[in-house]
Amino acid sequence: MKSNIIFLLGIAFFLSSCIVSKKKYDDVLAQKVKTEGELADKTKQLEVANASLKELNESLSKLKQDTTDLNQTYRATSQKLNDLNKEYEQLNSYYKNLLNNSGKLNRDLAQQKDQLLSIQSNLEATRKLNDSLSVSLIEREKKVKELEQILANKDKAVQDLKDRITNALLNFKENDLTVKVKNGKVYVSLAEQLLFGSGSINVDAKGVTALQQLAKAIKDQKDIQIMIEGHTDNVPISKKSQYMQDNWDLSVMRATSITKILTKAGVSANQVTAAGKGEFSPLAPNDNAQNKQKNRRTEIIITPNLDELFKILGTN
């Protein structure tokens, strides 16, 4: 997909200074449609991944609740086992006493013997159930600990990554970029004034430096996926072209420009997806200049690899 976008940008640059033939225009337009389709696929994949993460958290909550229920059942059966043991001992003692009594107690003795055998059977069945619950409880507690440890490791890895990125970008102003953790992901939000001139898709020198420093901090992290999201305000673009008709096109092309800088600086192209959301995911209402400035941004969303967690849940 990225190579298609590079091709489109190259065509856009070439055709900006010459007249495009109908055939070339149709070819480029077809390529753009294909690229938009691929972007939709990537967006769908991201939604599936987010849904999977939500499902994983729900599975963990259910597993914890099941473990709590098993603990309660285990305690109840243990108490029942103790009670049955006491009753068995009492009846067994009574049975032995009856053996020493006269024959007139034979009827009672037979009845007590049947009751004793019944209790013995019930006792054995309860003991087996208790043993089974004990094994199941141990296995579930082990599974919960494994899941909790994996989630804790993931959270620590995300926090460490956030700290590393923050340290790499300390020399930039807070109103130019922010780094934060949200929903188990690292969000690097870069303001328009750090990266682009008005309406431009070319990254300024200061923005290139920030992106290169970011790439240096994450390029060796092979267990992450990176989404580059371009965002705009709701003001229509002033200069339309054959390849940029609206804010959506602008946001996609800006995301692509940033992607190229990151990959050129060492980030693996297989880990990066470029996307644009135009004006449709604002941080604040586009009702004043300050809010519009907030909305003109690029977000770099870094997601950890959850394969280990999927593997644990797959064996449940």
Token pair belonging to 206: 């200061």
Per-residue pLDDT reduced to its tens digit, 76-131:
888 888 888 888 888 888 777 776 776 666 777 778 888 878 888 887 888 888 77
Please name the residue that has the structure tokens 């967690």: 309
Per-residue pLDDT reduced to its tens digit, 149-168:
777 788 888 888 889 899 98
Please name the residue that has the structure tokens 């993460």: 53
Instruction: Give the separation between CA 76 and CA 73, rounded to whole angstroms.
Output: 5
Per-residue pLDDT reduced to its tens digit, 23-59:
888 888 888 888 888 888 888 887 887 787 787 777 7
**Angle at Cα 309 formed by Cα 304 and Cα 313, nearest 5°?**
155
pLDDT higher than 80, residue 282: yes
- Please give the pLDDT value at position 248: 95
Task: Provide the pairing of β-strand 297-304 with 224-231.
Answer: antiparallel
User: Cβ(246)–Cβ(199) under 8 Å?
Assistant: no
Task: Please state whether the predicted TM-score (pTM) of the whole model is above 0.95.
Answer: no
- Please give the pLDDT value at position 246: 94
220 phi and psi, to 5 degrees? Answer: -90, 0
What SS3 class is residue 189? strand
Per-residue pLDDT reduced to its tens digit, 173-232:
888 889 999 988 999 999 999 999 888 999 999 999 999 999 999 999 888 999 999 999
Q: How confident is the model at residue 301 (pLDDT cuts 50, 70, 90)?
A: very high
**Angle at Cα 263 formed by Cα 257 and Cα 266, nearest 5°?**
145
Residues with Cβ within 8 Å of residue 85, at least 6 apart in sequence: 123
Per-residue pLDDT reduced to its tens digit, 244-256:
999 999 999 999 9
Instruction: Give the separation between CA 214 and CA 32, rounded to whole angstroms.
Output: 29
Quick one: CA dihedral 52, 58, 61, 67, positive or negative?
Answer: negative
Instruction: Give the separation between CA 291 and CA 286, rounded to whole angstroms.
Output: 6
- Please give the pLDDT value at position 309: 52
- Please give the pLDDT value at position 263: 96
Residues with Cβ within 8 Å of residue 310, at least 6 apart in sequence: 52, 56
- 10 Å Cβ neighbour count for 93? 10
Q: What percent of the chain shows pLDDT beyond 70?
A: 88
Q: How confident is the model at residue 310 (pLDDT cuts 50, 70, 90)?
A: low
Mean pLDDT in the chain?
83
